[in-house]
Every structure is written in C-alpha cells, then in structure tokens.
Amino acid sequence: MKLSHFNFNLPKELLAEFPAENRDESRLMVIDRKKNTIEHKMFKDVINYFDDGDVLILNNTKVFPARLYGNKEKTGARIEVFLLRELNSEQRLWDVLVDPARKIRIGNKLYFGDDDSLVAEVIDNTTSRGRTLRFLYDGSYEEFRNKLTELGETPIPKYINREVTAEDAERYQTIYAKEEGAVAAPTAGLHFSKHLLKKLEIKGVNFAEVTLHVGLGTFNPVEVEDLSKHKMDSEELIITQEACDIVNEGKAKKKRICAVGTTSMRAIESSVSSANTLNPYEGWTNKFIFPPHDFSIANCMITNFHTPKSTLLMMISAFCGHDLMKKAYDEAIKEGYKFYSYGDAMLIL
C-alpha cells in the first residue's frame, strides 16, 4: 500500500473544535467486518456489544500541560515551547519543539511567567523545530515540576483554532488517566464516562490497563510514498503482568478483546509472544502498523475518525480492511460525523 491510498477530502467543518456535551453521547459508527455492515449509534450503546468476561484494553497515560509560552532574551519575542519528553531530571533537560524555530539558536535564553521565575537555555538542535533545553530554576525538582504545570496549558491539537478553556483541562483527558507523560490524549478513551465504565463493570467486562505515553510522533506526517520507509518516533510503553493475565485469560476463553484506541493497539502489538499471547514490557516502542498486518491480540477496537494520510488511518485500514474502511469513511463524511481528537467514534467488530 502507498501513501496516496490514504488520501481523501475531509471538509473543514467536520474537524471537531469542541467535545460532545456529554462524554458518552458522541456518535458511534459500528462496523461489523464479518457481515460487512455499518450501523449508526450513540457511544453509550457500546455496552450492548460486550458481555461477561470480555476485555477492554485502556491506555491510562495522563496528558500533562505541555505547551508553554516564553519570551526570548533581549528581543522579548513570544516563543511557543512544546515539551516532548524529559531527558534528565537532575539536569532538567527536555526535548522540546519551538515555534517560530528560525529565531531560536543554541545559547539563547527563554524566560517564562510574568515574573520570569523560570528560565531555559537552548543547548542543542535536534530537528528543524526540535531543541534541547536546560531549565534553570532555584527550587527542588518537585517545585520545578509544579512550576511547569502552573505555566503550561493543555496541549489541544493545533487544528483547534481557539483559546484553551478550563474545560479542556478536564475533557482532553480520559477519566481513567493515571500515569503522567503524554503530550496528546489517547482520544478514543475520551468517550467513556464514569457511569458507562461502571455499567460495563457490572456487566462483567474486565479492564486491562497499559501505559503508552503518546508523543507527537503519532501525528507526524508521512512524507514517503512507500510506507515501509516511514519511521515512527519512539514512545514509552509499560505493560504489567497483571494486564497480561487479564488479556490472556480473555483470549484463552475466546472472549472479545477490545483495544480502546490506536495507542492501546500499538502497545499490545509491540509485545506479543510466539504463542500470540501478551507479554509484560517496559521500554520504548516505535511500531508502525500499516496494511497488511496480522493482529495477534485484539479482535475488535474502538477508535476515532482520523485525518487523511495519518499513521492512525493506516492502522485502521490494516484492522478493518481497506475497502470497508474507505466505505465507512465515505459514509461518515456523508452523515456529518466529527473527526479527530474531539470527534466521534467507531467500533470495529
């Protein structure tokens, strides 16, 4: 498959600027791969597709307020700094993206906060927009992290052309988020309300939690026509023995194993045993899933609607089947489904 197979015209008005009023009341498209059918539901109807002993695999990563605005020394130019990952906690070194990048060179200092209480020095260039910063701060490490949280804002995607609101801090986070480290939300999980999770639990559905700290690599554009030549950025991944036991027991009993989101799917596909069971894992993954791909663990998945030519769309094509995926996306556009992070959802059976 080539990059051009994943292009389609997406009307701008279908990019969701705001989340649905209630988490579980976004729309849900249900695709049955065996029957080749498409149904239109509400997200809370997802409960009707799961029974006692089925497993939902949730990515419990937590988004941190990764977007900061600082001023360049001397010129005072406003610079956006997007925190990607911490490289060294003792030296307070971070991988970041800066915008506008052309103004930021090694040796420059950036000042944050009304009182300039946080300063950063540029010590390396990593990519065209990437820099390594050393933060200079007088307090303890805990106080430094609190300062980042205080000065940072919720990193809603750039396509959302509006100011960040207080509501975003809550809604751009799953209700089961625990492990801080993501710079983007695992968005399929945003549709679950406490009430819906409780009802699934009462029904006997089991939850296996994995942690994949979503980085911006997930959203990096693919710039090669030959997909096998695209390299994904690495993201940190933790799969516990407890999660493996829940998933493998469900698999042994031939239950429904549902990956909630492309990040959960990438997590579990990164650590498969020779017997096609899930293995514990702690490390990094740069797994890129595109057609054709044999999925080893999950037999269904929940996902949002993705943008043209994205790596996420390629994974959906591999799981759903390319022709059925295209048919579903044509239908979604015709029916006015909302796309991307705050958009509607799809259940692929």
Percentage of residues in the chain having pLDDT higher than 70: 99
Residue type for position 124 = D
For residue range 147-171, list pLDDT tens digits in order. Answer: 999 999 999 998 898 999 989 999 9
CA–CA dist 238, 47 (Å, integer):
27
CA–CA dist 102, 140 (Å, integer):
32
Smallest Cα–Cα separation from 36: which of 324, 338, 264, 301? 324
For residue range 61-99, list pLDDT tens digits in order. Answer: 999 999 999 999 889 899 999 999 899 999 999 999 999
Q: What is the mean pLDDT of each run of 10 residues along the chain (349 residues)?
A: 94 95 97 97 98 98 95 91 92 93 92 91 88 93 94 92 92 97 95 98 98 84 91 93 98 98 98 97 96 97 96 96 97 97 97
**C-beta separation of 63 from 185 below 8 A:** yes
Q: What is the pTM of this model?
A: 0.94
| Beta strand 130-136 pairing with 118-125 | antiparallel
For residue range 166-211, list pLDDT tens digits in order. Answer: 899 999 999 999 999 999 999 999 999 999 999 999 999 999 999 9
CA–CA dist 220, 223 (Å, integer):
9
The answer for residues whose C-beta is within 8 angstroms of residue 345's C-beta and 6 or more apart is 26, 27, 28, 29, 43, 188, 191, 302, 303, 304, 305
pLDDT at 81: 95
pLDDT at 316: 97
pLDDT at 289: 96
Q: Which two tokens stand for residue 304?
A: 């949002």
